[in-house]
């Protein structure tokens, strides 16, 4: 595979060196294009050393392809990725500008284009940036990330470039054969928080990463995606509508407010129980009481509620188990009316808070084991499996 890596200005540009190396290790031919700003963060010589090919930066290069380097590169590439993709390059792409080599070849190529945004969290959240992203995704540009975490400016939040290993895995994964245009997909993600008093709550261990990866994969397949998520700091996948909730009751209500659902994916770790009567004021610890008794009541079963709808959507759920994985997952699928259940073993650095996972998918007609891999790759594979089961009826 021939991959063109475009690098725009930003501190994350140094990660592009690792991306190029990973792609080369996978057997890809790689060419690199730098913007003027990118050259302030990473040198052409470094990228030439890891790519094994000359690095391009100038739109007008008399020695490159008879001065028509942008056309030659555009025709050469099987895929194009811009990593990092700064707010500036996103704006210029959205406007169809061609004022440097990178933006010019984007207009001239027919290859799939992927962007990996990287910028300050406030810049990422700005309406102008989000509008540019919406424009690009509507044109078929694939967006990976950004991730959340510490940023070079000292702030914390969404805007970090996705790690090079994940980008390489996404680029090299088989192209999805799923066309979900016109389908309405609703996904729950993350854990819920059930209040005990104004400062304490009961929660489940869930990062939300699998649900967010599924939202990105469904959106990439063309679906209209609504992501209902419990408290977390993950960046919303581009083109996905996000509804923030706190409790299981909130999540259930948000789901019930959505009239049309074609595919429902319950990836959230919803609390099974909530405190019957949360305290209005903070519960104080006293010297006289060594124990505290809480009365818990059962929360509504969100997946079961969706499965009772008419017409019934295609319903997918998850089962995190510590033992007897297939047995408990199969029981749960049938009891709740799921069409497909994705079971994963938790514990021993599996499942929660991990960037990767291993899943056993079980449905009425069969079973498929997905070996441990990045959750973004798993999400694409699961969407393809869902589509296959739906098509088979």
Catalytic residue set: 153
130 CB contacts (<8 Å, ≥6 apart)? none
284 SS3 class: coil
What is the C-alpha to C-alpha distance for residues 89 and 92, in angstroms, rounded to an integer? 5
Kind plus residue range of the DSSP H or E element containing 387: helix 375-392
Contact 123, 152 (CB under 8 A): no
- Rounded distance between C-alpha atoms, residue 136 and residue 143, angstroms: 9
Q: 360-364 long-range contacts, Cβ below 8 Å, gap at least 24?
A: 360/325, 360/326, 360/329, 361/385, 362/326, 362/329, 362/330, 362/333, 363/333, 363/339, 363/389, 364/339
27: how many CB neighbours lie within 10 A of its CB? 8
Instruction: Centre a 10 Å sphere on the Cβ of residue 207 and count the other Cβ atoms it contains.
Output: 20
> Phi and psi (nearest 5°) for 124?
-60, -40
H-run or E-run covering 171: helix 164-172
Angle at 380 between CA 378 and CA 381, to 5 degrees: 65
Q: What is the number of helices (H) and of strands (E) in the chain?
A: 13, 20
Structure tokens given for 209:
């990463």
| DSSP codes, 190-242 | SB-EEEEETTEEEE-----HHHHHHHHHHHHTT-EEEEEE-S--PPPPTT-EE
The DSSP result for 246-274, as a single string, is -SHHHHHHHHHT----SEEEE-SB--SEE
Contacts of 111 (CB under 8 A, 6+ apart): 4, 74, 77, 78, 79, 80
- Tally Cβ neighbours within 10 Å of residue 350: 15
């Amino acid at each position: 595979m021939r991959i063109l890596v475009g690098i725009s200005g930003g501190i994350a540009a140094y990660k592009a060196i690792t991306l190029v190396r990973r792609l080369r290790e996978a057997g890809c031919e790689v060419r690199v294009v730098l913007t003027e700003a990118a050259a302030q963060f990473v040198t052409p010589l470094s990228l030439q050393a890891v790519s094994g090919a000359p690095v391009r930066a100038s739109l007008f290069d008399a020695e490159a392809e008879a001065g028509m380097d942008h056309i030659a590169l555009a025709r050469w590439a099987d895929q194009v990725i811009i990593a990092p993709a700064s707010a500036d390059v996103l704006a210029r792409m959205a406007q169809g500008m061609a004022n440097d080599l990178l933006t010019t070849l984007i207009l001239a190529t027919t290859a799939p284009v992927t962007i990996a945004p990287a910028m300050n969290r406030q810049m990422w959240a700005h309406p102008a940036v989000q509008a540019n992203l919406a424009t690009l995704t509507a044109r078929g540009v694939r967006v990976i990330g950004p991730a959340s975490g510490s940023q070079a400016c000292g702030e914390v939040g969404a805007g970090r470039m996705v790690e090079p290993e994940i980008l390489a895995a996404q680029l090299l994964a088989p192209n999805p054969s799923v066309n979900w245009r016109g389908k309405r997909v609703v996904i729950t993600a993350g854990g819920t928080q059930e209040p005990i008093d104004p400062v304490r709550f009961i929660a489940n261990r869930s990062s939300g990463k699998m649900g967010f990866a599924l939202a990105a994969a469904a959106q990439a397949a063309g679906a209209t995606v609504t992501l209902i998520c419990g408290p977390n700091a993950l960046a919303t996948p581009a083109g996905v509508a996000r509804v923030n909730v706190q409790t299981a009751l909130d999540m259930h209500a948000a789901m019930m407010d959505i009239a049309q659902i074609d595919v429902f994916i319950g990836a959230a770790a919803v609390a099974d129980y909530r405190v019957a009567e949360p305290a209005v004021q903070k519960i104080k610890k006293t010297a006289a009481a060594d124990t505290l008794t809480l009365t818990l009541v059962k929360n509504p079963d969100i997946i079961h509620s969706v499965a009772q709808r008419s017409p019934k959507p295609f319903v997918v759920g998850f089962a995190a188990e510590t033992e007897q994985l297939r047995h408990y997952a199969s029981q749960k699928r049938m009891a709740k009316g799921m069409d497909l259940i994705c079971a994963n073993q938790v514990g021993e650095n599996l499942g929660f808070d991990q960037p990767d996972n291993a899943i056993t998918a079980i449905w009425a007609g069969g079973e498929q084991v997905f070996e441990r891999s990045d959750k973004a790759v798993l999400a694409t594979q699961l969407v393809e499996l869902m589509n296959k089961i739906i098509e088979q009826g």
